[in-house]
Structure 1
Amino acid sequence: MFALAPHRAGDKMVRHPSGRPWVIGRWHDEELTSASAGSNAVVLLGRARISESELARKLAAMRSVSDVDSLSRSSHGCFHLLASIGGQVRAQGSLTTVRQVFYGSVAGVAVAADRPQSVAALTEAGIDEELVALRLLFPTAPHPLSQACLWRGVTSLPLGHYLLMPANSGARPVRWWTPPEPSVPLAQGADTLRRALEAAVETRTAHSATVSTDLSGGMDSTSLCFLAAPRAARLVTYHHVPLGPSNARWLRSSAALLGPEPGKRGTGPAWESPPAMPLWATPRAVSAVRSLIHAAADGEPDPLAPLPVQHDMLSVAQLCGEMTRRASRFTARHGLSYEAPYLDDRVVETAM
């Protein structure tokens, strides 16, 4: 079973081809794209740029859950994907964790959700206090601890994996995606990235009467605004201006008085920005975090990508994905959808 939120009155439900409840949660009608053929079915929940007829055509060619890879690699948007093929269930989110999957076991039955609290409520799991201390690290905990779930017995799906839920055995993650080789020429890559961003923006504007975007003047936000303008029924941009713009002038003057001495640059070998605990953290918290990092290092975890630059890109993308996921839950309470087109799978993959 896949739960998008704790079961409440008014929740929607998608039934498995067997007739049993399969997906329970709350979503807008335009966020659901599904198809079924006999005992097989596939569901996309979120922003997906594919019609139900095209999805049905792709489903007809699938013989196992591994055949869903082609759908995952070709679809634009940001969504949860669930498929039941040949009696096995596959569940996955997005590479950047904007759409994440958390899973656990209840009486030997695998359950998954887009929020760890939903799984914890079913498994009656408690909080791991040491992992709470880990969240004090700035800017974030190092890989793989950055994706550690705070609830005991609840696991987050690793990057590039889907959750395989066989009919008669426990759930396990299976890798379906690996970072691409950075071999595409710059000009070709720029054109491919533009088309990926166009598709990402179109998935957001297709069913929205009004789209609001940040227009800070930077390359990222400006590009999105120009892509959204011809596609949105109504585009509203906003720009944040500090209350005290004179601060920048005083900052430049102060920097000039300090002299031309350049700041020190970090030159040591590193795959990520080195994390640090806040000065007010207790010795017990620091010790707990140090032990967790040492234990993780002893396990010799694989990096997110073979190249340090790609590992860093994916690490930052996951951090942005988590922030976007949390922000979207807050804005959803006010009827707003918080979106980040740059974090779509196809955009991230193309940028690498």
Structure 2
Amino acid sequence: MIVTIGGRVRVRGTATAVRRVFYTRLGGTTVAADRCEVLGPAVGPGVDEQVLAARLLPPGVLHELERRSVWQGITGVPADHCLVLEPDGHAATRRWWRRVRLVAGQRCREPDWFVAPTGRSLRDGVGPHLRLPPWATSSAVQTARDLLRELAQSTPEPLSPQRAQHTAGEFIWAGAGRLRHIDQATTRWGVPYAAPCLDDAVVEATLSVRLSERADEHTGRYWQLNDNGTLILRRLLDGDTPQTCALRLVRDHPRLTEEQADTDVATLLESLRMAHLVTP
């Protein structure tokens, strides 16, 4: 959305990051676009190798990373901020959207998380596992690691002071990123892609729902599986045996040993049994 009043221009995307805003300086003037690759050729061929390497990680690893552009000299506007262009050519960002925060009386037990990244069952894990594809070079791994350390040292502000809302925000932004890229690809062929469930009004209404009403009404718990857990459960639902699931894990993740894969499958099955979601 672009609004001009009295020579001042305000540009913003959506709170869910389905629509983004990027900007740079060209000839002393701030120029903005909804896609960083539109500005890239004008700025130059420089690619930020740190961001490029870190983008090999699963989406949603760190929300601060989503704000970085793979092009040097181009800045991404945070989804909850807008870009304000002053008449004299200067630019600044302003917050335009406040994340929904649950009020008193809406508290409930925080959910348990199942994460099995490297043959271990971890509780209280948030977000996908930090793992680059097996074909990534050692240089790419080190480059991504350096950027993540840099971002962590800057103590980024959480998406919400409430853990559940923060986690929901990370998944929303990660999903919006995938949607945006799909839309850019399909629109070229005259087939725009949309996801009404990621509209700002829908997301804001969803985040306003009490935590106790988002989960199991008896325990207040819900399940969130990482990539390995999702793969295991999908294969089990398709009729695969636990042994077949473990072999598939090893095939998809060469760094994972057969023993670790067997442990992942067994741990998930035991957790599902304890939650009375499956029977022996």
Q: Same fold (TM over 0.5)?
A: yes
Alignment of 1:1-352 (within 5 A): 81-183=1-103, 265-268=121-124, 270-352=125-207
Q: Which stretches in structure 2 are left out of the alignment for 5+ residues?
A: 107-118, 208-280
Q: Does the 8 A contact of 1:140 with 1:275 survive in 2?
A: no
Q: Does the 8 A contact of 1:139 with 1:276 survive in 2?
A: no
Distance 1:275 1:132, change over 3 A: same
What is the CA distance between 1:140 and its match in structure 2? 4.3
Tell me, in whole angstroms, the C-alpha distance in 1 between the residues paired with 2:60 and 2:129.
Answer: 9
Task: Report percent identity of matched pairs.
Answer: 34
Greater Cα shift, 141-150 or 292-301? 141-150
Q: Does the 8 A contact of 2:101 with 2:160 survive in 1?
A: no
CA offset digits 1:81-105 (Å, max 9, x no partner): 1111122110001112211111111
Tell me, in whole angstroms, the C-alpha distance in 2 between the residues paired with 1:117 and 1:152.
Answer: 11
Output the amino acid matched with 1:154: I
Output the amino acid matched with 2:168: M
What is the CA distance between 1:265 and its match in structure 2? 4.5
- If asked which structure has higher relative contact order (CA below 8 Å, sep 6+), I would say 2
Distance 1:280 1:100, change over 3 A: same
Tell me, in whole angstroms, the C-alpha distance in 2 between the residues paired with 1:335 and 1:171.
Answer: 34
TM-score by length of 1: 0.52
Tell me, in whole angstroms, the C-alpha distance in 1 between the residues paired with 2:195 and 2:120.
Answer: 33
Tell me, in whole angstroms, the C-alpha distance in 1 between the residues paired with 2:186 and 2:66.
Answer: 24
Q: Does the 8 A contact of 1:139 with 1:275 survive in 2?
A: no
Aligned residues: 195
Residue number in structure 2 paired with 1:191: none
Residue number in structure 1 paired with 2:248: none
What is the CA distance between 1:151 and its match in structure 2? 0.2
1:144 is paired with a residue whose SS is helix
Greater Cα shift, 152-161 or 320-329? 320-329
Residue number in structure 2 paired with 1:218: none
Tell me, in whole angstroms, the C-alpha distance in 1 between the residues paired with 2:101 and 2:197.
Answer: 20
2:25 is paired with a residue whose SS is strand
Tell me, in whole angstroms, the C-alpha distance in 1 between the residues paired with 2:192 and 2:141.
Answer: 37
